């Protein structure tokens, strides 16, 4: 599809298309027509052209979308002919930036467009769609409203002191600041979950050779990806794949079995296993529940994890075997019993992974923070509120208190883009793909 946006969009498109006799591009209709060579009138393709008259379009400008059969040659021809008639190539994110500048989207919604495009899971797409629908802005609005009302009352007391306009007592001011701060703090706290939803995590599967790491990896990715044999040390390099657990993208990394080895290739694989362990957000330590030996090597691995302060889950695999034994709750780690052969315990393991990733009470409220820029601005606002509360306690004049309250308000305006500078906008929209 080629999208034209701007005052000349309809005029340029009309020169490239041949509609049925007596027809012309009309707003709100999809026209089945011919794409032609303008100089000769020869038909190149059959296309669907849709015209959106301003302001009823994505950018609020006139927009024409030409949907062809997808040949790169044909699409390139459309672009070249449009440029030859006065159009130009869009900058990355320019369509969405125009939508923002023309008031169709606020900045949180515009950023959600990028998140929606980059979604790897359906849950990520749904979260981005909520943001695109203005969920974060709606959550911020009552918070900003209370803050503005407090500022207005204090401004009135300062500006019209000679008219005996009543000034709020300190206790009431502190109460109102707290009413703004509490929901704002909850919003700030939601970033821990929102960051995981937005970025996902890396999960490393580690353990001694032949404890079933690769089989467990295949169970979690639900297909035969890693090579599995009865020979210890089969995995020599890192194998990774991203899966969705509870809608959160999780990059699983299968590692080489950790043991003392004189084999050069295996030793390199073991070194990479320790590197993966250090880089992972969460580690699955796989133990052989059927083995009577290996406790010393397992304890060494657990000690290494504790030294790195890594978050870990113990997985007692091969629990289906008759000789299966139950390990103690080593080092206080959470333990899950599984059988990668039969699939028993895999559902419980997924649930435990999700619990560790998302927390006990996963954030389901709409409008949670997923963006580091938003998080920084909310924290800046909280800092302003803390300064204002300190000013109240120290009986600072209201003129100075108002400076702190304005310091709390400005970052909230910047979240939605009401006071964003051009360099910030260019940074945000420059990360978009071309033509969006």
Whole-number percent of the chain with pLDDT over 70: 85
Q: So what's the pLDDT on residue 329?
A: 46
pLDDT higher than 80, residue 327: no
Mean pLDDT for the stretch of residues 371-398: 95
Mean pLDDT for the stretch of residues 344-364: 81
Q: So what's the pLDDT on residue 323?
A: 61
User: In angstroms, what CA-CA distances link 136 with 95, 184, 215, 320, 383?
Assistant: 22, 12, 42, 48, 20
Q: Per residue in 132-190, pLDDT tens?
A: 999 999 999 999 999 999 998 888 877 665 555 557 889 999 999 999 999 999 999 99
Q: List the beta bridge partners of residue 287.
A: 316
Nearest alpha carbon to residue 374 among 125, 148, 109, 59: 109
**Distance from C-alpha of 136 to C-alpha of 24, rounded to nearest angstrom:** 41
List, edge to edge, every strand of the sheet that includes 30-36: 2-5, 63-67, 43-52, 30-36, 17-18
**Distance from C-alpha of 106 to C-alpha of 259, rounded to nearest angstrom:** 55
Nearest alpha carbon to residue 25 among 62, 55, 76: 62
pLDDT higher than 70, residue 295: no
pLDDT level of residue 128 (50, 70, 90 thresholds): very high
**By three-state DSSP, how is residue 226 classified?**
coil
Domains of the chain: 2-89 (3.30.1360.120), 135-190+368-429 (1.20.120.430), 201-358 (3.40.50.300)
**Distance from C-alpha of 91 to C-alpha of 434, rounded to nearest angstrom:** 6
Nearest alpha carbon to residue 339 among 210, 255, 208, 216: 216
pLDDT level of residue 420 (50, 70, 90 thresholds): low
Q: So what's the pLDDT on residue 229?
A: 47
pLDDT higher than 50, residue 435: yes
Name residues whose C-beta falls within 8 Å of residue 390's C-beta, 6 or more positions apart in sequence: none
Q: So what's the pLDDT on residue 168?
A: 83
Name residues whose C-beta falls within 8 Å of residue 80's C-beta, 6 or more positions apart in sequence: none
Three-class SS string for 86-122? CCCCCCECHHHHHHHHCCCCCHHHHHHHHHHHCCCCH
Q: Specify the higher pLDDT residue, 206 or 277.
A: 206
Mean pLDDT for the stretch of residues 287-316: 77
pLDDT higher than 80, residue 309: no
Give phi and psi for 52, each to the nearest 5. -115, 115
pLDDT level of residue 279 (50, 70, 90 thresholds): confident
Q: So what's the pLDDT on residue 389?
A: 96
Q: So what's the pLDDT on residue 394?
A: 94
Least confident of 36-45, 140-149, 286-295, 399-408: 286-295
Mean pLDDT for the stretch of residues 314-339: 74
Nearest alpha carbon to residue 348 among 435, 207, 236, 219: 219
Q: So what's the pLDDT on residue 22?
A: 85
**By three-state DSSP, how is residue 254 classified?**
strand
Mean pLDDT for the stretch of residues 322-326: 58
pLDDT level of residue 303 (50, 70, 90 thresholds): confident
Q: So what's the pLDDT on residue 429?
A: 76
Q: So what's the pLDDT on residue 155?
A: 85
Give phi and psi for 408, each to the nearest 5. -80, -30
Q: So what's the pLDDT on residue 321?
A: 81
pLDDT higher than 70, residue 423: no
Nearest alpha carbon to residue 345 among 216, 155, 235: 216
Place of tokens 């060579």: 37
User: Is residue 261 a contact partner of residue 270, using CB atoms and an 8 Å limit?
Assistant: yes
User: Is residue 385 a contact partner of residue 269, using CB atoms and an 8 Å limit?
Assistant: no
Total-model pTM = 0.77
Average pLDDT, the chain: 85
Q: How many residues in total does the chain contain?
A: 436
Three-class SS string for 299-366? HHHHHHHHHCCCCEEEEEECCCCCCCCCCCCHHHCEEEECCCCCCCCHHHHHHHHHHHHHCCCCCCCC
Q: So what's the pLDDT on residue 104?
A: 92
Mean pLDDT for the stretch of residues 284-308: 76
pLDDT higher than 80, residue 260: no
Mean pLDDT for the stretch of residues 228-238: 54
Q: So what's the pLDDT on residue 180?
A: 97
**Distance from C-alpha of 122 to C-alpha of 124, rounded to nearest angstrom:** 5
Q: Residues 130-167, buried b or exposed e (16+ Cβ, 10 A)?
A: bbbebbbbebbeebbebbeebbebbbebeeeeeeeeee
pLDDT higher than 70, residue 57: yes
**Distance from C-alpha of 249 to C-alpha of 259, rounded to nearest angstrom:** 30
Q: So what's the pLDDT on residue 322?
A: 67
Nearest alpha carbon to residue 314 among 328, 300, 304: 328
DSSP state string for 25-89: --BT-EEEEEEE-TTT--EEEEEEEEEE-TTSSSSSS-EEEEE----HHHHHHHHHHHHHTT--P
Q: So what's the pLDDT on residue 426?
A: 73
């Amino acid at each position: 599809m080629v999208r034209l946006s701007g005052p000349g969009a309809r005029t340029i498109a009309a020169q490239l298309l041949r509609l049925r006799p007596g027809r012309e591009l009309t707003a709100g209709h999809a026209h089945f027509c011919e794409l032609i060579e303008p100089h000769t009138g020869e038909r190149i393709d059959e296309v669907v052209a849709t015209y959106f008259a301003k302001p009823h379009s994505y950018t609020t400008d006139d927009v024409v979308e030409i949907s062809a059969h997808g040949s790169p040659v044909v699409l390139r021809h459309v672009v070249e002919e449009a440029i030859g008639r006065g159009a130009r190539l869009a900058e990355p994110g320019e369509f969405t930036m125009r939508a923002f500048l023309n008031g169709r989207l606020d900045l949180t919604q515009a950023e959600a467009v990028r998140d929606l495009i980059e979604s790897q899971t359906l849950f990520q797409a749904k979260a981005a769609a909520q943001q695109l629908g203005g969920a974060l802005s709606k959550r911020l609005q009552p918070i900003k409203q209370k803050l503005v009302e407090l500022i207005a009352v204090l401004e009135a007391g300062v500006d019209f002191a000679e008219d005996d306009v009543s000034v709020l007592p300190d206790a009431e001011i502190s109460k109102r600041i707290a009413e703004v701060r509490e929901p704002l703090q909850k919003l700030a706290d939601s970033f821990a979950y929102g960051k995981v939803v937005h970025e996902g995590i890396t999960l490393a599967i580690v353990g001694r050779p032949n404890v079933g790491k690769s089989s467990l990896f295949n169970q979690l990715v639900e297909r035969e990806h890693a090579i599995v044999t009865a020979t210890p040390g089969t995995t020599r390099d890192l194998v990774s794949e991203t899966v969705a657990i509870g809608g959160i993208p999780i990059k699983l990394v299968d590692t080489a079995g950790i043991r003392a080895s004189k084999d050069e290739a295996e030793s390199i694989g073991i070194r990479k296993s320790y590197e993966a362990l250090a880089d992972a957000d969460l580690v699955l330590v796989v133990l052989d529940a059927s083995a009577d030996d290996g406790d010393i090597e397992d304890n060494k691995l657990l000690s290494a994890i504790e030294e790195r302060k890594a978050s870990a889950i113990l997985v007692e695999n091969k629990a289906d075997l008759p000789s299966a034994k139950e390990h103690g709750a080593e080092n206080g780690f959470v333990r899950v019993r599984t059988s990668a052969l039969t699939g028993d315990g895999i559902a419980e393991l997924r649930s435990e992974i999700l619990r560790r990733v998302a927390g006990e009470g996963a954030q389901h409220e709409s409008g949670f923070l997923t963006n580091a820029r938003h998080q920084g601005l909310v924290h800046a606002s909280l800092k302003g509120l803390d300064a204002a509360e300190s000013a109240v306690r120290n009986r600072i004049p209201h003129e100075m208190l108002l400076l702190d309250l304005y310091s709390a308000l400005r970052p909230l305006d910047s979240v939605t883009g009401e006071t964003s500078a051009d360099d910030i906008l260019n940074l945000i929209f420059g990360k978009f793909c071309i033509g969006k």
